[in-house]
Amino acid sequence: MYGDRLPWHRRVQFEAAHQILRSFHQLVNRLPFWEHGLGTPTVTRIQCRHSPLAGRRAVQISDLHLDRYLPRHDTILRRIGGLRPDWIFVTGDLLDSASGIPHLLRFLSRLRQLAPVFLTLGNHDHHSGVPVGLLAALADSHKLQLLVNQAVFVPLASGELGIIGLDDPSTHRADRRCIPPRVAGRFTVLLAHAPNVLDLLEARDAVDLILCGHSHGGQWRFPSIRPFWLPYGCRGRAEGHYIQNGHRLYINRGLGWSFLPIRWNCPPEIVLIEWVEAKPSRSRPKRNPA
Ligand SMILES: [Fe+2]
């Protein structure tokens, strides 16, 4: 169930924490509509240089925790539709319990009408009580691509887009052996739920952009103070850009909530990736013949 490197005390800690959280989420989801700070997602633009993909765009969303479908989910869909993505990436924590399946599928089916959808799993998906096999079958029947330590390739007129989906790094399920070797003309996006994926990768891994979530941006933020809550697997990384070993990571604050349906000074986020032409390589000045 967990990766081999997860110590036993962490397993006990995760199981206990998720049992409590799952019951709590189910309880809150029975209450009448009550949320704060989850209504209007901001849109963050990321630019990537790769000529075969110039003019193409993708949207990344994360941490849906979609156990009940609310009006704000229609707002999110409208917002994403307005961005006209060619592909949509969802980096885990899709739901918290099995009762969320019809709500999640309602959202994802509508998302699929906008563009092809690629999904990875987060820690909450694994602790939801929904078997991964069932999630994979549901994804299949709804024409969604669930990637669990898998890679797919989208051919382009010249070159291709590689999309790798790692299983959840925060529970040590990610297996970097699924990362294919570098190929000329390919741009590779790696989707993984938690920011500690950056510590798993080696400099030689052929990855151009890593997208993840998990942190919720800290969820409750106060001016001039570092986030006081970040889940295991963030290693102090809360949101935005990070570079390590030559790998570029972006952490999305996500769209949902943990513990309480409140986000404070930490709005939900949609990330738009836009590809532009690569910079022309500088040719060496010619030497004058002697
Ligand atoms: Fe989450």
Q: For the chain, give every domain's residue range.
A: 8-276
Q: What percent of the chain has pLDDT over 70?
A: 94
Whether the CB-CB separation of 70 and 257 falls below 8 Å is answered with no
What is the whole-number distance in angstroms between the Cα of residue 257 and the centre of ligand 1? 7
- The stretch 121-138 carries a mean pLDDT of 96
Give the pLDDT band of residue 224 (cuts 50, 70, 90): confident
| Nearest C-alpha neighbor of 235 from the set 184, 266, 265, 195 | 195
How far apart (Å, rounded) are the C-alpha atoms in residues 102 and 92?
17
Q: Quickly name the fold that domain 8-276 has.
A: Purple Acid Phosphatase; chain A, domain 2 (3.60.21)
Q: Separation of 268 CA from ligand 1 center, angstroms?
A: 12
Q: How many whole angstroms from 205 Cα to the centroid of ligand 1?
A: 26
Taking the centre of ligand 1 as the mean of its atom positions, its distance from the CA of residue 181, in whole angstroms, is: 30
Cα angle value 138/12/129 (rounded, 5°): 20
CA of 191 to the centre of ligand 1 (A): 15
- pLDDT bracket for residue 290 (50, 70, 90): very low
Whether 129 has a pLDDT exceeding 50, the answer reads yes
Q: How far is the CA of 182 from the centre of ligand 1 (A)?
A: 31
Q: Indicate the range of 6-20, 87-101, 108-122, 267-281 predicted with least confidence.
A: 6-20
pLDDT-derived band of residue 281, with 50, 70 and 90 as boundaries? low
Q: Residue 243 and residue 49: Cα distance in Å, rounded?
A: 16
CA 114/CA 118 separation, integer angstroms:
12
Q: What is the pLDDT of residue 18?
A: 74
pLDDT, residue 273, reads 98
pLDDT tens-place string over residues 155-205:
999 999 999 999 999 999 999 999 999 999 999 999 999 999 999 999 999
Which residue from 221, 248, 246, 226 is spatially nearest to 236, judged by alpha carbons?
A: 226
Query: Per residue in 64-108, pLDDT tens?
Result: 999 999 999 999 999 999 999 999 999 999 999 999 999 999 999
Between the CA of 111 and the centroid of ligand 1 the distance, in Å, is 19
User: What's the 216 CA to ligand 1 centre distance in angstroms?
Assistant: 6
Q: Out of 10-14, 104-108, 119-123, which region has the weakest mean confidence (pLDDT)?
A: 10-14
Across 242-248, average pLDDT: 95
